[in-house]
A = this chain, B = another copy of it.
Amino acid sequence: MTNQVSEKQLLLQIQPLIENHEAEAVRLLLEAYRPEDIADIFWDIELDEAKFIIKVVGQKEAVEIIRSLDEELQERFFKGYTSKEIADDVVSYLDSDDSVDILNLLPTRKAEEVLSYLDDQDYAKNLAAMLHYDDDVAGGLMAKELVQVKHNWTVSQCIEEIRLQAEEVDSVHAVYVVDDKNILNGVVSLKDIVLSKAHTSVIEITNTEFIAVNAYATGEEVARLMNKYDLITIPVIDSMNRLIGRITIDDVVDFIKEEADKDFQLQAGLSDSVVSEDKVLILSKARLPWLMVGLIGGLGSSMLVSNFETDISHLPQMAFFMPVVAAMGGNAGVQSSAIIVQGLANNTLKSKNIMPKLAKEFTVSLINGLACSALLLMFNLIIGHNYDLSIVVSIALITVIIFASLLGTITPLILEKFKIDPALATGPFVTTINDIIGLTVYFSLGRILLGA
């Protein structure tokens, strides 16, 4: 049994060896490690060192290491290789789904070159066909490698086919049954093949109540189906119901994680997927756009507040409560939009009717607004603030919480309708709008009720 290894220790051992070009020592050292673990140290080494490792570990290991690299590292890594090297040493050894992932990282021109260098031109044609799909639909997530059998075969013929495909298809979880026109008829589990007699007709053990996805189904839909029905693999079909590939759950797990990360990032106001190891300028670029949105919103607020200059100079205490009114609007809005965004993402939102949701949100925000306002009023009276001002602040607070909650509920639903990622609604954009609305309500109430 092998478990995780210390990355640091490996780095310390391997870097001096690479520096001295001790190929054999590096090879021996790495023999004890899994490709996935070796891939981990690629974050911390130079391109030259990486190329050295790939050269010495042997073909099969090298391909596995490259496959396990993070996308960003792959992209960086392949800049050091020619199209012919990528074709001969990497793509020709990979499963189609992994190859397509890599080709998608390359500039179009280079990807085409790689395809032209492939010896197996059938494989190249397959890959070219798969490149037509976006990488977030079923066709972009699927692999072409699968075991398919004819509906009139026996179990022993199936086993023979598995044997023939064994080298190409790493992990077999199911065998797909097709007719003469390649139309998918059903799925047979490996367990049923193991438990059946050799001469059994395959159709007897075929499950025809299977679930398949169209090549253009979204990644979200694939994830939802596999999750709901606890599937390990799902077949991919074209519009004629012909079998064209299969997706395994591990690719979908990656997809689910990426989607969750994207929502989290949008909510935090990051415009790109960044990690703290990225270069300063990349980090800065991912963050500056949303800061600018916030800034422009802030300037809007400042121009708004400037309309109330005389009110403030008349009663400077009004300024004291600007932060609390603005912040509470932001907080309440983010809460209500997060509930909707998550409901949309997880498909737990049973209906997209806006009116009943708004009615409910009104009640919830009224309760919370009343609770917060009462507390604020108590505090202000104890502290000994101006009575009228305290009343204004509390009324403004309720109004702002209700308003921001309704806006937070409605915005993601509207964005979804226009096919814009609803997670945008929990980010700085809506917080900023809520700031402006909150302050407008506050100062307007102040002017009316305090006659300032």
Contact = CB atoms under 8 A, between A and B. Distances in A.
Interface stretch (A84-92, A105-113, A138-146, A204-212): A204-212
Nearest to A274: B339
A265 B340 CA distance: 11
Main secondary structure, interface of A, reads helix
Interface string A322-346: 1111111011101101111111001
Contact of A331 (B162, B264, B291, B303): B291
Interface string A388-405: 000000000000010000
Contacts of A191: 162, 166, 171-172, 190
B211 A227 contact: no
Interface stretch (A50-58, A125-133, A310-318): A310-318
Interface in A271-322: 274-277, 280-281, 283-284, 287-288, 290-292, 294-295, 297-299, 301-303, 305-306, 309, 312-313, 316-322
Contacts of A36: 228-229
Given A270-B335, A319-B305, A250 B249 contact: yes
B264 A375 contact: no
A335 B287 contact: yes
A318 B231 CA distance: 60
A368 B287 contact: yes
A1 interface: yes
Given A306-B317, A368-B287, A327 B432 contact: yes
A241 to B, nearest CB: 7
Nearest to A267: B267
B254 A257 contact: no
Contacts of A320: 302-303, 305-306, 309
A276 B240 CA distance: 39
A349 interface: yes
Contacts of A375: 292, 295
A232 B229 contact: no
A267 B264 contact: yes
Interface string A422-438: 00001010011001000
A180 interface: no
A44 interface: yes
Given A267-B267, A295-B372, 11 more contacts: A1-B241, A159-B195, A227-B257, A253-B253, A260-B260, A261-B342, A269-B334, A280-B363, A295-B328, A297-B327, A327-B432
